[in-house]
């Protein structure tokens, strides 16, 4: 397995509110783990929400013991959701903070994904397929056929999300399973990439560039197109024998 990841502040924001983690080595009961999170809130609150969520998710998974892996992921997301809400209630500076969260692991040739918010996971083979669904106002309109994909990309309300860690005490998490094939690549990313770079361009870069260069190329493409948000991406080549890890 080969994995590369990077987070960049972009060209406009003064702070990076994205946070990521990846490991090709076991993390508790999980054989590997890949996470991206995009924080939201006032000054420093989004940064704190994403970091608090990712770091404590990893800690929870490491200490969870021998449970069903996907159950551990679900329990860990609910655990960090409570942490974020507790911190927001205790400290006025963190009031209203939250974060998107995509966590994935690969076991026996199958990709398992848990998602809340509008950060994304894609499967890339001959085509590019968005595995996760955006939990956003615009995403809901797109799925209902009320707007086109092009209209969604430029909609004024595209940043309004309908689900996030920190939004409610009982978060609804989506789960997905994907059977992987040799040659597949996987992308986890925040909307700082997808709002700046079209899917067909992402496909072209990931399908045709050396995997070690892909993340840097994607981030530079997003920045060349405006870089209005933080940009985070993790690219995975599941069946490569060489290993690079965070």
Is the CB of residue 54 less than 8 Å from the CB of residue 79? Answer: no
Beta strands 185-189 and 231-237, pairing class: antiparallel
Q: Identify the pLDDT of residue 24.
A: 97
d(CA 78, CA 71): 11
d(CA 225, CA 153): 14
Greatest alpha-carbon pair distance for the chain in Å reads 49
Per-10-residue mean pLDDT of the chain, 246 residues long, equals 97 96 97 97 89 98 91 97 96 94 98 97 97 75 66 61 90 96 97 95 96 97 97 95 45
d(CA 117, CA 185): 22
d(CA 86, CA 125): 41
237 three-state secondary structure = strand
223 three-state secondary structure = helix
Beta strands 101-107 and 98-99, pairing class: unpaired
Q: Identify the pLDDT of residue 245.
A: 40
Q: Identify the pLDDT of residue 107.
A: 97
pTM, to two decimals: 0.90
Q: Identify the pLDDT of residue 34.
A: 98
Sign of the C-alpha dihedral, residues 172, 196, 231, 239?
A: positive
């Amino acid at each position: 397995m080969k994995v590369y990841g990077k987070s960049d502040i972009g060209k406009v924001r003064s702070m990076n509110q994205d946070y990521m983690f990846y490991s090709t080595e076991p993390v508790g009961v999980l054989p590997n783990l890949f996470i991206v999170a995009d924080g939201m809130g006032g000054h420093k609150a989004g940064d704190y929400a994403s970091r608090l969520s990712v770091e404590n998710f990893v800690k929870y998974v490491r200490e969870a013991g021998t449970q069903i892996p996907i159950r551990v992921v679900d329990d860990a997301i609910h655990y960090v959701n409570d942490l974020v809400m507790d911190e927001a209630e205790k400290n006025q500076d963190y009031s209203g903070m939250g974060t998107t969260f995509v966590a994935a692991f690969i076991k026996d040739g199958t990709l398992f994904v848990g998602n809340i918010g509008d950060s994304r996971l894609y499967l890339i083979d001959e085509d590019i397929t968005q595995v996760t669904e955006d939990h956003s106002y615009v995403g809901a309109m797109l799925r209902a056929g009320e707007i086109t994909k092009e209209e969604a990309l430029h909609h004024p309300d595209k940043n309004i999300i309908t689900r996030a860690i920190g939004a409610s005490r009982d978060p609804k998490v989506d789960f997905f399973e994907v059977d992987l094939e040799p040659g597949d690549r996987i992308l986890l990313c925040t909307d700082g990439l997808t709002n700046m770079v079209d899917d067909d361009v992402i496909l072209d870069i990931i399908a045709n560039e050396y995997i070690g260069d892909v993340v840097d190329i994607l981030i530079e493409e997003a920045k060349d197109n405006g870089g209005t948000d933080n940009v985070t991406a993790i690219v995975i080549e599941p069946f490569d024998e060489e290993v690079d890890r965070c």
